[in-house]
Amino acid sequence: MNKKTEFIKKAAVTVILLTVFMSTFAFGVTEDYSTENDPLISLSYINGVLTPSFEKYVDDKVKSVSVDEIVAALMEDEGFKDYVASVIASQSGGGQSGSASSAEFVSLVLSAGKRITANGKCEVIVRSGKAAAFCKTSGVVKDISADKTLTNGENVITGDLIEVSYAGGAGIAALQNGTEVLIRGEFTIGE
């Protein structure tokens, strides 16, 4: 039994020494702990450092970009073009008919049978789909890109700049659904 008691004493001393050593080590580690080395970001750091620097970055970027660049970037986005077309259509009687005016090109998507009639000088570019010129008087619908005058019912070439210089009775008509056009000037959308 003597050996057994001696073994128990040695085991108890070893356990006590290990406990003291581990406690000292753990205390030393926590004393050197710093939030600078913490990989987690605190809310105060986000609010005090990240948010102001991000706001400054955004403000600098916004100040460095012109309105024309913003509009050009937005007009490349199909969703934005659809939104602009829907706003114009809603302001012009639900898209069935109405009128609008634009100093800049706006994008419209027309269904088959829809007509864009000039209310003065108007410029149109057919981006996709099919469209034809309509006019009561010859010489008022011009394909500026091809340097020619279009006659009533003549197809419009996709991508060409079309100028309509006659109010009330001249313009372009969509021949298929989903005909996308860019338009600038005073115009009426109707059937």
Q: Please tell me the predicted confidence (pLDDT) of residue 38.
A: 60
Whether 161 maps to a domain, the answer reads: yes
Q: Which residues of 72-98 are buried (b: 16+ CB within 10 A; e: fewer)?
A: eeebeeeeebeebbeebbeebeebeeb
* Residue 15: predicted pLDDT: 76
Q: Is residue 85 assigned to a domain?
A: yes
Pairwise CA distance, residues 134 & 117, whole Å: 9
Q: Which two tokens stand for residue 51?
A: 């948010």
pLDDT for the residue numbered 175: 92
Domain of residue 166, residue span: 77-190
What's the number of domains the chain is made of?
A: 1
| Tokens standing for residue 165 | 């210089």
pLDDT at 130: 92
Q: Catalogue the E-assigned strands of the chain.
A: 98-110, 115-128, 131-135, 141-143, 148-149, 161-164, 170-174, 179-190
Residue 65 lies in a domain: no
pLDDT, position 111: 87
| Residue 180 in domain | yes
**Mean pLDDT split into 10-residue runs, the chain, 191 residues:** 74 76 62 58 78 83 75 73 63 45 78 86 89 84 88 88 80 90 85 77
Structure tokens at 59: 């403000």
Q: Is residue 63 part of a domain?
A: no
Q: Is residue 55 part of a domain?
A: no
Q: What is the CATH number of the domain that holds 99?
A: 2.60.120.1030
Name residues whose C-beta falls within 8 Å of residue 93's C-beta, 6 or more positions apart in sequence. none
